Amino acid sequence: MKQRIWNVITEDSPTIRFAAEEFARIMKKMDPASTVVIYDNNNLPSGDILYIGKAAFSEIEDPIIDDGIRIDIKSCSGKIVGVNDRSVLIAVYRFFREAGCVFVRPGRAGEFTPETDSSQICVTLSETPAYRHRGLCLEGSNCYENVVDMIDWAPKLGFNEFFTQLFRPAWTFRRWYEHYSNPEFTPTPVSLDTIDSFVQDFDREIALRGLQHQRIGHGWGSKILGMISGAWHEQNRDDEVIPGREKLIATIDGKKCLFKGSGIDTNLCYSDPEVQQLLVDEVVTYAKENPTVQYVHFWFADTLNNQCECSHCATARPSDHYVKILNMIDDRLTREGLETKIVFLIYLDLLWEPEKEVLNNQDRFVLLYAPIRRSYSVPLASDSGKKEPPFKRNGFVPTPGAGDTLPYLHSWQKLFHGDSFIFDYHYMWDYINDPGCYKSVQIMAQDVEDFRSLGLNGMMSCQNMRVFMPNGLGMNIMGQALWSGKNGFNANSDSYFYACYGKDGEKVKPFLATLSELYDPTVLRGETPVRNPKNAANYAKIPLLIDSFLPTIKENLNTSDEVWKRSWECLLFYTELCRKTARVLLLAATGKNEEMDPAWADARSFACKNEMRFQKEFDVFEFILVWESKILNRIKEQEEAFIE
């Protein structure tokens, strides 16, 4: 039998060294009898070696931002190489996935690593990802460790980008540390200095893994007014505005004041040369001071119907003023010798393309398409929602059931031919509309396959970090689909369910599929009415389905495998939560609305009391937010219409 010794030669790079250390760590988990020794090029061992490092790929367009990997391993020797440092790390994780490992959830306790004789592992492959942009955007309610775990997990699934929003993402940490929506815990306020130190740590974790770093988005306008906003709709006072800059605020109904009292929600008078120059200065200064941020997002305010109505602004669409400022930013960055990419946003008022202005240096910019009003009941490419009405300044009336924003993307694509990707929200809110977490994953997988046909070079997933309840199937499918460019649901779900649950994983898949069918996500999305006999019959079946599956769950709780054990513990909790939410929907479907509030209170309390047990997997803040501000509100609106 061949001795299981891995002599690893690597390079003097923090990311590549980390990749080699990760190889050694995971290999020891897979094969405890193996020996892994890491050398550098100045201390070469005798005998077989494994080289982990960079290599040139002739087919790679841009070896700094594009990825490519090659693996050729047999009998504890060979090579794991990538076109850049990040690619090397991705290649190491790709090797282990090919060898049977599955990164079920973030954290080392989420790594399924089958024991094997490592001398028998043989992997040969050469791959370049289908999409350039495979990113995760910070959202949700999080502690520091949740974000670090997600950054660590990202390259294991082939993600290559991480986007930290705003100048100071205070909202995400306040929600957790101050325990918004959860009365079971005592709030522990977190200071702004602490949040800033969190972000500095994230920068280091992102850099260690060689991930492309993206920053900011909303908040430029409030910054030049004198406010570093830490949350959407954050309340400010007009006297916080830097003296003399009140005149820069958009004129609406003849007034200049913070929009609904929020600096980050306030647009500016974008035709004003002073506004333009201040914004340009701010972006260029940020790019100079943050050279490790490869992509800077420059967006307007995140609200509707607050564009400036002055006589100068009214002569052009918001997108015309936007493009003019973007061109000014490019001119300055070029003069400063900075290669920073600027990401511009197609969203809300900016869905409508410019009529006069064009982007001069298209290589500088990346188009970001954000179809926030799409339907997730059908794939984006076939979204049949209602088209938004023609552009009217500050006359945007959201259309119920809207979703067909693709015509606006196509109009922009006629003017812009550069790099682009989508900013989508599968795991921001919509996954909660599908308690079975099955149908929604199928839609997401098809979306990813369709990006290429839509002229999009990948996705930035705007999402919560704690999206692993009842499991991480969707995130695994997302990462693999963004890498392969193919709808990998059928090919990858079976292996995931085994890695997640063990031998009875094959039973979990149809259970969750049935749960998804009975809940009917179109009802929770408000696209179909809740009150009807069919829904009532389906919601009545959910407790029976859970009861029939409970013996399987309980039989597996004593497994010795830590990954499987945790998965079954999550499923036991989650099925009880589903029992309670199904009760809420059954009451709605049968018109017993007066009983819904106490039923929901029971479900809410159960989630809150168990949050600490499942903190890493389940974002209770977002669960409550979606149910209370979206699902239950829609049911109430339908009931009012029903009564009328």
User: What does the pLDDT look like over 56-105, one tens digit per residue?
Assistant: 998 888 999 999 999 999 999 999 999 999 999 999 999 999 999 999 99
Question: What tokens does 209 get?
Answer: 């893994």
Q: Are strands 77-82 and 123-127 parallel, antiparallel or unpaired?
A: unpaired
CA–CA dist 164, 67 (Å, integer): 21
- Please give the torsion angle defined by the CA atoms of residues 235, 237, 242 and 247, in that order, rounded to the nearest 10 degrees: 100
Residue 540: CA atoms inside 13 Å, Cβ hemisphere, count? 9
Q: Under DSSP, is residue 598 helix (H, G, I), strand (E, B) or coil?
A: helix
Task: Give the ranges where 423-561 is alpha helix by DSSP (H).
Answer: 439-450, 473-484, 489-501, 505-519, 521-524, 533-556
The DSSP bridge partners found for residue 419 are 366
Q: Are 556 and 568 in contact (CB under 8 A)?
A: yes
pLDDT the model gives residue 644 = 43
Low-confidence ranges of the chain (pLDDT < 70): 1-2, 400-402, 640-644
Q: Which letter, b or e, does each residue of 466-478 get, where b requires 16 or more Cβ atoms within 10 Å of its Cβ?
A: bbbbbbbbbbbbb
Mapping DSSP onto H, E and C, the string for 492-521 reads: HHHHHHHHHHCCCHHHHHHHHHHHHHHHCH
What confidence tens digit (pLDDT) does each residue in 295-354 have?
A: 999 999 999 899 999 999 999 999 999 999 999 999 999 999 999 999 999 999 999 999
Give, in order, the Cα–Cα distances in Å from 357 to each of 69, 320, 322, 346, 634: 40, 5, 9, 15, 40
pLDDT the model gives residue 385 = 72
